């Protein structure tokens, strides 16, 4: 008797995913859909299809796409809090700025694109999440790096301000939104061409 495809002993059964494996597949699908189609065209149906799961699976945990997107971003965005610093000004500045670049890469820029292109509560929620998860911790770390630099005589005391601490990250966010991915060369240019001249002690008259 001829076997059908379903009866074939060589046809593997579809893998059933549960728990963290399924959750990660859903989060990956969210980022992929945002990158391809943007916030407005992302739907629970499109995420379910991309993750190869049912829409009911999504609604059992997330009430709507905004809740799902926020959870996907929280999952993807690296926290810079535990960054190991070495007490070397250039090295530590580069380490923190690379962590910020990793945040861009982790969401493929989607989080920052929503903040740029969307208005209303959804953009505000994403902006608050990015601020709490990424930009505020980076600013705190950069302020600490500058204070340590003052003690070593590498940084002027009057350069230790929140405004100065925001300069590098602001340039990187702008570059990511307008030019695309941030390279190591771009980070080095920001440090060598902007940050160090901005904070270094002035020559004695």
Q: In 3D, which of 136, 139, 115, 109 has the Cα closest to residue 127?
A: 115
Residue 2's contacts (CB-CB under 8 Å, 6 or more residues apart) are none
> What are phi and psi for residue 35, nearest 5 degrees?
-65, -40
Q: Give the tokens for residue 192.
A: 């060598």
Domains of the chain plus CATH, in order, are: 19-75 (1.10.10.60), 78-199 (1.10.357.10)
pLDDT at 179: 84
Tell me the C-alpha distance between 159 and 163, whole Å: 9
**pTM of whole model > 0.75?**
no
Q: Give the tokens for residue 204.
A: 């004695």
Q: What residues in the chain have per-residue pLDDT under 50?
A: 1-14
At residue 100's C-alpha, the angle toward residues 174 and 155, to 5°, is 90
pLDDT at 5: 43
CA dihedral over 44, 49, 54, 57, signed as positive or negative: negative
pLDDT at 148: 96
Over residues 108-145, the pLDDT tens digits come to 666 666 655 666 676 677 778 778 888 888 889 999 99
Q: Using CB atoms within 10 Å of the CB of residue 86, give its burial: 0 to 12 exposed, 13 to 18 middle, 19+ buried.
A: exposed
């Amino acid at each position: 008797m001829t076997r059908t495809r379903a009866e074939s002993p060589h046809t593997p059964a579809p893998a059933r995913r549960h728990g963290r494996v399924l959750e990660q597949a859903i989060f990956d699908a969210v980022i992929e859909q945002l990158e391809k189609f943007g916030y407005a065209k992302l739907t629970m149906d499109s995420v379910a299809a991309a993750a190869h799961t049912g829409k009911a699976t999504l609604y059992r945990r997330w009430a709507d796409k905004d809740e799902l997107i926020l959870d996907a971003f929280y999952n993807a965005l690296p926290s810079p809090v535990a960054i190991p610093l070495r007490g070397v000004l250039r090295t530590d500045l580069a380490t923190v700025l690379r962590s910020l670049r990793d945040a861009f890469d982790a969401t493929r820029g989607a989080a920052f694109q929503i903040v740029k292109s969307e208005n209303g509560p959804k953009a505000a929620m994403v902006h608050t999440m990015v601020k709490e998860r990424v930009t505020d911790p980076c600013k705190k770390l950069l302020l600490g790096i500058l204070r340590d630099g003052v003690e070593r005589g590498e940084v002027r005391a009057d350069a230790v301000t929140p405004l100065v601490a925001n300069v590098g990250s602001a340039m990187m966010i702008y570059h990511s939104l307008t030019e695309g991915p941030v390279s190591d060369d771009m980070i080095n240019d920001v440090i060598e061409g902007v940050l160090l001249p901005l904070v270094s002690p002035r020559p004695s008259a």
